[in-house]
Structure 1
Amino acid sequence: MPASRADLASFADALAARLPGHWHSAYRQHVEYSDQFPLGEEVWDVGHVHWAVDVFVLGHDAQLSGPNGQRLCVIDRPLYRDQFLVAPLTPDEGLKPHHFTGVEEPNGIKVGNDPLRAAVAVSRRVLPRYRSALAAVRHNRQVRPEPPLRPAPPEVDQVLTLTRYADGVLRAPYTTVPAEARDALYIHGFQYLPHQGAFLLPAAYGAAGQALRIQAVAQQLAAHGIGVNLRHTPPPPGAAPALNTRAALPGSTPVTHRR
């Protein structure tokens, strides 16, 4: 890949002079490989140009600044000594990621080393797409200055708390269950056990079955202004060790049995 300043710099200057409107070029020599990383973040392309910036060591680049905040980058086309890549850059206007949602990338093109022909190709194939994309993201910034957030849940007057125990059972003490919630618990599989003074959802339903029933209860109670909280009890102290593990007795020596 050519590293001569004259090749890329002079081509970029000549290209800027032939584009419609007032453009000027700024050449940048990369002292280190990391100097091209910011370009990878700015190039508005999901095709050949982005691939070249991401995979190859460029060594240098040129940036063209034009009317209405338009910016283009010019780099050597990898593996082709007499060709260049020209691509739009994202606008430097404090735009946020959600402003680009739904906007198609304008993408860049490859051009030969003739500045006049390159200017014609860029003017016809790149700049119209670029202007359209710029207008779209600026419109998005105007109508959606901040990221769209999901609405907060409605306030509830009462809360039903369900506690999951280590054996998989879900339990709610009878005295803590709002009267309006009891029918919903019965309908969706909860059992009232008088000797425990609580509603229980058996572990026999399995985790998936319990989740479906809890979701159905929550949806039904939400219509009555009742929220549902799910809590877990901590594991009991001295819980059994993991399976297939065995602690050796103090002073014992492993015995090998041979046949």
Structure 2
Amino acid sequence: MPTTPPAQIILSTSRAHGLVAIPYGEEHRRAVRALGEAGFRRIPSGAFATPLTDGPTARQTARALVHCAHEHGATITTSPRPYLADFGDDLVARLPGAWSAQLELYYNPLVQQDLIAPLWDSGDLLQALLHDAVPGAVVLKNGVGTELLLIERPGHSSGYLLGAFATEEFDDNWEAPNAPRSIVLPAEPGLAAHAVTTTFLPAYSRALHHRRLDTVLTALERIRAEHETLQAIKESGRYSDGVPLADARMVPEMEATFADYAWLSFRDVLEHAPVLLSRCRPAMTPWAQDAAALDRLRTALAESQAVRAEDKELRGVLFSVDGWKQARSRFGLAALPAIETWLAESEAFERQVRAAVPGGPVALAAPTPRLLTARPALPAVPRSSAAHR
């Protein structure tokens, strides 16, 4: 991050508030004191402002600010852009749907680091938060789970950067391969809204679709590997390395261990699969026969909801490691028929979800960076029986 003055006052103009000042820097409290002594008042966003309606009074306040800033060792910077909150309001007013805009100010440069973990971006916005000073941002929300981040474009006198936060189900966003790229927005709100609506939001929807698909497929692959190993051991009476089982009574314990492991992964299926299934239209694809398989998958999800609800309820009251392991084993055993259904029908699921990519024709979705979703769509043929390992 570039070196910034320890105490800085960033000025911009607002149609509602007049002259707006944002204190910034590691010693931003000095800037706050200077603003207070000069006659600025804190506004709800956390910035400071003084009206510009009375010319003589405004000039007097400006002179006082220069003097007070000098007294407190604060540097004054004038922004060529309008007040960021005003641009955010103008932008959301032109977006389709019910969007809100909330300004956030980061007086201390270290605070912006808190944005990096939830940010889901592979473009300039992430780089700006990592390497540039970002005194403030606007968070845009549509009320149904989409949250965007808007900042002034560093190193430029105009323009903005806009990217996305990950949805709340995801918490591992660093260098996520399917992350959408943030875009540069022009200074004119109408043109900016057009870019968000026609370019960024469709790309974001496709990226989220692929990420959900990757998450479900990864979970099923983890379960499948352990399930096939367990089945091979039960059928052969030997461990995967060929050593005979010492006692057949160990099988129930192995099944409980598998159920614990499987439930941890099946949670991802329960979380992300419903929205993907809701987009599938088998009759509009070359694989209309997948409709029956999708119905079985939906039924399996529905039959697992009671177990999922109990799991969520216990997360707030069950704290011991052993208690959690026993509970997860019980959940996994209860959901085992549903898990086996998903293992059996995963090819139809993947094929149909690929065809249902948002904004695209009813055809195969473009490959995503990860191996699981980069493979071609699978033909509608029965899965062969699992081999022993």
Q: TM tier, shorter chain? A: 0.5 to 0.7
* Of 141-150 and 62-71, the range deviating more from structure 2: 141-150
From 100, 118, 121, the counterpart of 1:45: 121
* Deviation (angstroms), 1:137: 2.5
Q: 1:69 to 1:63 in 2, by over 3 A?
A: same
Structure 1 residue 7 corresponds to structure 2 residue 93: no
* Deviation (angstroms), 1:60: 0.7
Query: Partner amino acid for 2:110?
Result: S
Match of 2:85, SS state, is helix
Provide the TM-score with structure 1 as the length reference.
0.52
Aligned equivalents of 1:3 and 1:74: distance in 2?
19
Match of 2:244 in 1: 157
Aligned equivalents of 1:14 and 1:74: distance in 2?
12
Q: 1:84 to 1:96 in 2, by over 3 A?
A: closer
From 138, 142, 156, the counterpart of 1:66: 142
Q: 1:96 to 1:35 in 2, by over 3 A?
A: closer
Residue pairs, 1:212-231, within 5 angstroms: none
Which structure has the larger Rg over C-alpha atoms?
1
Query: Partner amino acid for 2:170?
Result: L
Match of 1:136 in 2: 210
Structure 1 residue 119 corresponds to structure 2 residue 205: no
Match of 1:72, SS state, is strand
Query: Partner amino acid for 1:95?
Result: F
Query: Partner amino acid for 1:131?
Result: S
* Deviation (angstroms), 1:26: 1.0
From 182, 187, 193, the counterpart of 1:108: 182
Aligned equivalents of 2:124 and 2:88: distance in 1?
19
Q: 1:142 to 1:54 in 2, by over 3 A?
A: same
Q: Share of identical aligned residues, percent?
A: 25
Preserved CA contact (<8 Å) 2:117 2:171? no
Match of 1:86, SS state, is strand
Aligned equivalents of 1:147 and 1:79: distance in 2?
45
Match of 2:365 in 1: none
Match of 2:96, SS state, is coil
Preserved CA contact (<8 Å) 2:123 2:183? no
Preserved CA contact (<8 Å) 1:3 1:60? no
* Deviation (angstroms), 1:146: 8.2
From 95, 115, 125, the counterpart of 2:170: 95
Aligned equivalents of 1:139 and 1:17: distance in 2?
32
TM-align CA RMSD = 3.2
Match of 1:55 in 2: 131
Higher strand share: 1
Matched residues, number: 157
Q: 1:70 to 1:147 in 2, by over 3 A?
A: farther
Provide the TM-score with structure 2 as the length reference.
0.36
